[in-house]
Chain A
Amino acid sequence: MPRPFQRAHVVALAAVVALSSPARGGEPRVVEITAKRFEFSPAVVTVKKGETVMLRLRSLDVTHGFFQKDLGIDLEIEPGKVTEMTLTPRVQGRYLTICDHFCGSGHGNMKMTIVVEE
């Protein structure tokens, strides 16, 4: 029986600070995302359909979630750690991605959008 959510492969590295970097020698493009109450930055990330990218997430304050069911994204972003996930979206569209770890009164509006283009 399939699990309710396909958990993404997550690598959390303590105290790692990485810079955005372009694709190089087959390495996936790195997309840096920061989370703080109650916003993600950037608010919009664009990826091409079929492109593999590395999402690299950090929290600047408390633990946040990063959840997008259709893309199979289901992460916890703990402060002091870097959380990574490779993503290869297959379907064009705009994917609303939310914090699903309750983080305070503005939690309900903590979101960003992943745009998957042709």
Chain B
Amino acid sequence: MTEARIDRRTFLRIAGMSLGAGALYRVAPGWAADGPGNDMAAAQQRVNGEAVTPFTFVQLSDTHVGFSGPPNPTGTAAFERAVEMVNRLTPQPELVLFTGDLSHESEAPGEHAARMKHFQEIAARVRVSKRRMVPGEHDAGLDGGVLYRSVFGETHYSFDHRGVHFVALDNVSRAKPEVGPEQIAWLRADVARFPPTAPIVVFTHRPLFDLKPEWEWFTRDGDAVMAVLAPYENVTVLYGHIHREDLHSGPHATHYAARSLIFAFPDPAQAADKKPIPFDKEHPFRNLGLRVADAGNRASSRTVRCEEVELSMREYSGTEGFAQLLKPSSL
């Protein structure tokens, strides 16, 4: 059978560039557009129901709208800068995924809702047809996601885009870092209709593996989630929470973390404490830079080659630029 010859190496190619603020991914069939490639595409369409056609999407994470403190006194400046950059990308991405901590919590009456609305105002400036998000613990950890759902909708769901199945998982609303048995059962049912070759992108907030449990960089039942996804050959997991980029190749998926848009955490292999990297007013976007990722033809479908580029300051530079960034908040 034609289907039997199609493996993960030939099926999907994810390429693109990532904004330290986030990541831009290009999803494209990993074969030529003509000749044998057409046969493969046709076979995949028969197996998966919809052929994958090229598109790009962006991941933005940990915007923490409403946060104000020494690690970043510039508020939403980096988030707004990232939006500008995404809007200048060619080709224009079709989808933006926000992987949690959209807002920074507040227990003052009405304040957290105002921060979520402010996030929506900025996110609405991204010129894409689809914006999808999951909560972080700062969005949904204190009230079990009640306010989040009233503003953004469900905290876990799935959808298809150009032949790729996207799954939003919530590993924050139970207060503990876990997905929970009900959601795992939902995930099992959700992916059951797909063949093993189906391309699946899971996006969530916390890592689904034990990256650094003593820094709460893990999900207690992440192994159970990955066991559900184990039969699938083309699984990519995108997450945030750790405020730094990371690439982890697991047995059944490749996991990518996007940087934060508010401040960075240090490398846990080097640092003794989980303390934000101090703000540098000469380089206010340092550690919030670009990450260019390109799988190309040399890599397998689950391997992305990365190149880092610092988020450019353009009109902002040095101390004078820092002063420009300290504009009054609209909150």
Contacts and interface: CB of A to CB of B under 8 A. Distances in A.
Interface of A: 4-5, 63, 65, 67-69, 95-98, 100-105, 107-109
Given A4-B223, A68-B214, A69-B213, A100 B176 contact: yes
B274 A109 contact: yes
Given A65-B176, A105-B104, A109-B274, A100 B223 contact: no
Contacts of B244: none
Contact of B216 (A5, A104, A108): A108
Given A102-B142, A104-B107, A108-B274, 8 more contacts: A4-B223, A5-B220, A69-B213, A98-B214, A100-B177, A100-B216, A102-B141, A107-B137
A101 B175 contact: yes
Most buried by A among B105, B138, B176, B224: B176
A105 B68 CA distance: 11
B41 interface: no
B267 interface: no
B175 A4 contact: no
Interface of B: 104-105, 107, 137-138, 141-142, 172, 175-177, 210, 213-216, 220-224, 274
Given A69-B213, A100-B216, A108-B274, A4 B221 contact: yes
A100 B176 CA distance: 6
A98 B216 contact: yes
12 contacts: A4-B220, A68-B214, A100-B176, A100-B177, A101-B175, A101-B176, A102-B141, A103-B142, A104-B107, A105-B105, A108-B216, A109-B274
A95 B213 CA distance: 11
Given A102-B137, A102-B141, A63 B175 contact: yes
Nearest to A63: B175
Nearest to A62: B142
B214 A102 contact: no
B104 A102 contact: no
Contacts of A95: 214
Contacts of B213: 67, 69
A103 B223 CA distance: 25
A86 to B, nearest CB: 21
